[in-house]
Structure 1
Amino acid sequence: MKRTIFFLADHTGITVEAMGRSLLSQFDGFTYETVHWPFIDSLDKARRVAERINQTTIESEQKPIVFTTLVDPQIRDYFKQLDVPVMDFFETFTARLEEELQLPSSHALGRFHTTDNNRAYDQRIHAVNFALNNDDGAVTRNYTTADLILIGVSRVGKTPTCLFLGLQHSVLAANYPLTEDDLENDLLPNVLNSYRDKLYGLTIDPHQLQRIRQERRPDRRYSSLEQCKMEIKLAEDLYKHYTIPYLDTTSMSIEEISARLLQHINRAAKVTNE
């Protein structure tokens, strides 16, 4: 049975969904269904949501997982009393920032969305939705409007990078997985041929890739070092054959990866405009 995931927010819920889905995408084979509950700005609303969470636990006979960006301390504490795992993005980072900045948080609702540039905010929302809807090669018809199409083998970091680029920089980033069949044929998948100028490859040290895969699917051919070495070599050979720029992400944070990709996008845009 699929696990139920609750996304709770005191505003639109776009942020908590993007961050939650990004984390969940790291767990191959994990299937889930989602419940979105935005605009939880009172204890009365929180109680109604809690009833739904408890009912889900009873009906499914397993605890749902709750992701939240709730700001109000009372409402956050209310959900922490439930007998379910709660992933609190707000609390995770705010206390550390208060300590570092020597400033108290305002705990004001919707500050992330308070902006004089509504158009820029709408672009971020659109970019995050674009990343979610064009993840893992599931949909390719939107590639004509993509700013960037990341390609690479499984577990190399394509999905979280696309989401980060969308959420932080409004980049329309899609991603396409290079499967073993693609790599053994030594040919770029047909669906990508028309978008060669938008492609960017990701690679990683095979030993690190094995560690990542072992955490998800241990003791399988998919996560063997031999398989990881083979896939990485063939992927890099493909990049070189088609002159596709690529980046080794082994020792890079998602912020560093995104910064390099932004430089590439800006250079490409400059060449196009000249």
Structure 2
Amino acid sequence: METGGGQPLIERRVRAAYFVSDSTGITAETLGNALLANFPGIAFLKHTMPFVDTPQGAVNVVRNIARDASAGLAPVVFTTTKDAAVSAALAASPATIIDLLGGHLTDLEAALGTTASEQLGQFHQLGDPGQYFARMRAVEYAIEHDDGQSDRALDIADVIIIAPSRCGKTPTTMYLALQYGLLVANYPLTDEDFPTDGLPPLVRKHQSRCFGITTTALRLSQVRHERRPDTRYASLAQCTLELRRAEDLYRRNRVPFLNSSTKSVEEMSALILQTLRLRP
């Protein structure tokens, strides 16, 4: 199909996507969404179905799948269920089934010379208590040191993220803490921090562990308008000024930085780990 100007017009199709798990559904969601991201021309109506650990529970899910199939949504089902009876019930649904564990578990069993445990929810159990409590401590540290609220124990921070307000400091901080157990603080660059050649006093002596974030002025203005519409704080001029000052500050003090406007929290975290050579 073409537009009046001769340009091709891509129709955006709609499909149903189900993430079905016998545990929390996080693994099915993460892997399934990573696969679906490769098909931007299709809009997916997504449904997460956690704790489907009995055949009856699977039958209930299949009813929903069948309803979407009847509506022409051609469901795709991503599963991480391990029980054979549950998997069989899902396989009977009018959908394309993507078993995210099946073939991989079989291959791994062959490689390791043993069978996989049939216990449910293995991935999300406490596991190593030391690692678990390290992550919880990291989350507490991140909350205490969010937006420059505290200067206590900054000397033990693994990373100090600095950026103007609403550039993505807090989500990145929390992701690094929860996912990797890193001690991460963040500091907001405000008008009071300029003009200056050096970093703000609170973080100046920790320069080697600082990492900056920037974005585009338009994106920052849009985000700030959602919080404080029609204010100087959200104006394009103010956002442009703050970002220019921040980037100049990063360059003068050799603080590595990235642009968050087109990156996910996961991508930003990976770049920070790589740049600062952190090994969680």
TM-score, scaled to structure 2:
0.57
**1:154 pairs with 2:165:** yes
Q: Note the 1:100-179 alignment, pairs <5 A.
A: 101-102=98-99, 112-115=124-127, 117-179=128-190
Query: Are residues 256 and 137 of structure 1, via their aligned partners in 2, closer, same or farther at CA, if it must alter by over 3 Å?
Result: same
Matched residues in 2 for 1:107 and 1:72: separation? 13
Q: Aligned residue for 1:199? A: 210
The answer to whether the Cα contact below 8 Å between 1:134 and 1:142 also exists between their aligned partners in 2 is no
1:213 alignment partner AA: R
Q: Aligned residue for 1:190? A: 201
Unaligned runs of 5+ in 1: 1-70, 74-94, 270-274
Matched residues in 1 for 2:153 and 2:219: separation? 32
Matched residues in 1 for 2:166 and 2:250: separation? 17
Query: Are residues 253 and 213 of structure 1, via their aligned partners in 2, closer, same or farther at CA, if it must alter by over 3 Å?
Result: same
Matched residues in 1 for 2:119 and 2:97: separation? 17
Query: Are residues 149 and 100 of structure 1, via their aligned partners in 2, closer, same or farther at CA, if it must alter by over 3 Å?
Result: farther
The structure showing larger relative contact order (alpha-carbon pairs under 8 Å, at least 6 residues apart) is 1
Query: Are residues 213 and 96 of structure 1, via their aligned partners in 2, closer, same or farther at CA, if it must alter by over 3 Å?
Result: farther
Q: Note the 1:248-263 alignment, pairs <5 A.
A: 248-263=259-274
Q: Displacement, 1:181?
A: 1.6
TM-score, scaled to structure 1:
0.58
Query: Are residues 174 and 97 of structure 1, via their aligned partners in 2, closer, same or farther at CA, if it must alter by over 3 Å?
Result: farther
Alignment RMSD (CA, Å): 3.1
**1:214 pairs with 2:211:** no
**What CA deviation, in whole Å up to 9, does each residue of 1:188-209 have, x standing for no partner?**
2112111011111000011100
2:267 alignment partner AA: E
Matched residues in 1 for 2:214 and 2:97: separation? 34
The answer to whether the Cα contact below 8 Å between 1:72 and 1:107 also exists between their aligned partners in 2 is no
Matched residues in 1 for 2:97 and 2:145: separation? 37
Q: Displacement, 1:239?
A: 0.7
Q: Displacement, 1:96?
A: 6.8
Identity %: 37
Q: Displacement, 1:102?
A: 3.4
Q: Note the 1:220-231 alignment, pairs <5 A.
A: 220-231=231-242
Q: Aligned residue for 1:27? A: none
Question: Does the residue aligned with 1:213 lie in a helix, a strand or coil?
Answer: helix
Q: Displacement, 1:110?
A: 8.9
Question: Does the residue aligned with 2:161 lie in a helix, a strand or coil?
Answer: strand
Q: Aligned residue for 2:56? A: none
Unaligned runs of 5+ in 2: 1-49, 53-75, 80-95, 102-117
Q: Displacement, 1:109?
A: 7.2
Matched residues in 2 for 1:232 and 1:171: separation? 27
Query: Are residues 101 and 165 of structure 1, via their aligned partners in 2, closer, same or farther at CA, if it must alter by over 3 Å?
Result: farther
**What CA deviation, in whole Å up to 9, does each residue of 1:56-96 have, x standing for no partner?**
xxxxxxxxxxxxxxx668xxxxxxxxxxxxxxxxxxxxx97
2:181 alignment partner AA: S
Q: Displacement, 1:141?
A: 1.6
